[in-house]
């Protein structure tokens, strides 16, 4: 039986700030040795060379070592997923997940938040965008589900991953061994890694049939409604965090999910919050949340037809500002207008994650004692 979960959101006051984590530990809200995952936003460019992710990662891991009894090697195994880029009003922050001792909160048969994590087998550069990556990601998702105490895929509401992308070094490595890679464009490989990972999640949860290699980045009707995939230069395998609900463990929190059908779909965000268990009026307002919303987690993507609700936009034609940054700022503003809080997790590059031009939304709420 998994243990109950405490989850808190803290701001990042600067790129190497982990004071929010330190304060939670020092106040006795969580224990350093019980932190099992962190998911956050940093203020870098969100691209291949976004080193703010590495800086923030180091800051948080140093606190876990200094305030706990785990070694640096043990803390290195804690999944900490950073998404770079706080375009527009988005604010740097981190959502921290920690276990509570069994029996420290009343058990309940109502669904309550649970978290499981796993690492895949190493991903070779020639596997990114192809069947072996899908298989390895799917296996890691199933492992993480088991650790979360989830047997029914319907109880999975959010799968956050971090996977490697292609760099000049890894492309050269593949070629030296007589292998080919899906693309030699490193920035394109970010979208590719995310999309392939999402297909692995969809396969593991039974959302889609196993896709053919030629379906990757082309069959956009194949998608997961709970996948949130990021990629970077920090690791060589898939880091998987499964967040869902289970019964019998207790705790204050519950998660739900939905999808945004396009970049303006506020109803999709409200639907995720309702799915998590909050009662809301027919036309809700941020004040109806009453401080119960811990955080929302969204993926977004510019629609490939260059349209939103029948109106054309220039994001995909803009040579000055990449569409990654434009759609992230747009959806971040839309989502912040729902939550009333710009410290929300909005990540770009959502191929195979929700419908084209939209994306999945997960919401964690505090239901009280």
Which of 41, 136, 162, 299 is flagged as catalytic? 162
Average pLDDT over every residue of 159-186: 96
Q: What is the pLDDT of residue 103?
A: 86
d(CA 251, CA 12): 26
The CA-CA-CA angle for residues 188, 87, 21, to 5°, reads: 105
Residues 6+ apart with CB under 8 A from 14: none
Q: What is the pLDDT of residue 52?
A: 94
Is residue 369's pLDDT more than 80?
A: no
d(CA 301, CA 315): 11
Q: What is the pLDDT of residue 232?
A: 82
Q: Between helices 19-26 and 52-67, what is the axis angle to 10°?
A: 20
Q: What is the pLDDT of residue 185?
A: 95
Q: Between helices 131-148 and 186-204, what is the axis angle to 10°?
A: 50
Q: Using alpha carbons only, how large is the chain's radius of gyration in Å?
A: 19
Average pLDDT over every residue of 234-249: 94
Percentage of residues of the chain with pLDDT beyond 90? 94
Is residue 300's pLDDT more than 90?
A: yes
Candidates 255, 235, 237, 236; CA nearest to 245 is 255
Q: Which pLDDT band, with edges at 50, 70 and 90, does 1 fall under?
A: confident
- Higher confidence at residue 50 or residue 19? 19
The pLDDT tens digits of the residues spanning 310-328 come to 999 999 999 999 999 999 9
Q: What is the pLDDT of residue 19?
A: 98
Which of 189, 224, 225, 230 is flagged as catalytic? 230
Residues 6+ apart with CB under 8 A from 223: 198, 202, 207, 208, 352, 353, 354, 355
Residues 6+ apart with CB under 8 A from 75: 61, 64, 65, 68
Q: Which pLDDT band, with edges at 50, 70 and 90, does 304 fall under?
A: very high
The helix or strand, by DSSP H or E, that contains position 169, with its residue range, turns out to be: helix 168-176
d(CA 126, CA 133): 9
- Higher confidence at residue 278 or residue 233? 278
d(CA 213, CA 289): 43
Do residues 279 and 151 make contact, with C-beta atoms less than 8 angstroms apart? Answer: no
Candidates 163, 177, 175; CA nearest to 132 is 163
Is residue 252's pLDDT more than 90?
A: yes
Q: What is the pLDDT of residue 201?
A: 98
Average pLDDT over every residue of 259-284: 97
Q: Is 162 a catalytic residue?
A: yes
Is residue 260's pLDDT more than 90?
A: yes
d(CA 211, CA 202): 10
Q: What is the pLDDT of residue 333?
A: 98
Average pLDDT over every residue of 90-113: 95
Is residue 131's pLDDT more than 80?
A: yes
Q: What is the pLDDT of residue 30?
A: 98
Residue-level length of the chain: 369
Do residues 157 and 116 make contact, with C-beta atoms less than 8 angstroms apart? Answer: no
Task: Point out which residues pair with 346 in neighbouring strands.
Answer: 298
Q: At which residue do the structure tokens 């105490």 appear?
A: 149
d(CA 15, CA 103): 37
Q: Which residues of 44-76 are buried (b: 16+ CB within 10 A; e: fewer)?
A: bbbbbebbbbbbbbebbbbbbbebbebeeeebe
d(CA 132, CA 200): 10
Q: What is the pLDDT of residue 365?
A: 98
Q: Is 13 a catalytic residue?
A: no
Q: Which pLDDT band, with edges at 50, 70 and 90, does 74 fall under?
A: very high
Average pLDDT of the chain to the nearest whole number: 96
d(CA 116, CA 99): 11
Handedness of CA 182, 185, 190, 195 (dihedral sign): negative
Is residue 234's pLDDT more than 80?
A: no
The pLDDT tens digits of the residues spanning 200-232 come to 999 999 999 999 999 999 999 999 999 999 988
d(CA 166, CA 256): 33
* Residue 70, phi then psi, degrees to nearest 5: -75, 145
Do residues 88 and 330 make contact, with C-beta atoms less than 8 angstroms apart? Answer: yes
């Amino acid at each position: 039986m998994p243990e109950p979960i405490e989850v808190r959101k803290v701001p990042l006051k600067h790129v190497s700030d982990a004071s929010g984590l330190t304060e939670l530990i020092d106040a006795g809200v969580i224990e350093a040795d019980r932190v099992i995952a962190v998911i956050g936003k940093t203020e870098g460019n969100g691209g291949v060379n976004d080193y703010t992710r590495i800086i923030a990662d180091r800051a948080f891991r140093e606190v876990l070592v200094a305030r706990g009894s785990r070694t640096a090697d043990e803390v290195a195994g804690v999944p900490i997923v950073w998404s770079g880029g706080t375009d527009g009003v988005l604010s740097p922050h981190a959502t921290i997940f920690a276990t509570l001792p069994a029996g420290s909160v009343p058990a309940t048969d109502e669904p309550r938040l649970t978290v499981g994590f796993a690492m895949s087998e190493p991903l070779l550069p020639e596997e990114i965008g192809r069947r072996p990556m899908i298989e390895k990601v799917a296996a890691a998702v199933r492992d993480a589900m088991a650790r979360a105490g989830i047997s029914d895929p319907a109880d999975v509401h959010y799968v956050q991953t971090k996977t490697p992308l292609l760099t000049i070094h890894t492309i050269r490595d593949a070629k030296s061994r007589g292998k080919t890679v899906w693309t030699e464009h490193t920035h394109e490989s970010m979208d590719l890694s995310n999309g392939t990972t999402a297909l692995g999640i969809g396969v593991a949860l039974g959302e889609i049939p196993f896709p053919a290699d030629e379906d990757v980045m082309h069959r956009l009707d194949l998608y997961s409604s709970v996948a949130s995939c990021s990629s970077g230069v920090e690791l060589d395998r898939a880091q998987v965090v499964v967040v869902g609900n289970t019964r019998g463990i207790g705790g204050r929190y519950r998660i739900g999910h939905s999808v945004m059908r396009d970049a303006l779909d506020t109803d999709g965000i409200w639907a995720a919050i309702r799915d998590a268990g909050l009662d809301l009026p027919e036309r809700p307002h941020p004040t109806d949340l009453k401080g119960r919303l811990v955080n929302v987690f969204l993926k977004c993507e510019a629609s490939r037809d260059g349209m939103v609700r029948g109106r054309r936009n220039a994001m995909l034609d803009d040579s000055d500002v990449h569409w990654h940054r434009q759609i992230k700022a747009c959806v971040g503003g839309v989502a912040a207008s729902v939550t009333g809080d710009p410290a929300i997790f909005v990540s770009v590059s959502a191929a195979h994650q929700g419908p084209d031009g939209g994306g999945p939304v997960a919401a964690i709420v505090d239901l009280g004692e």
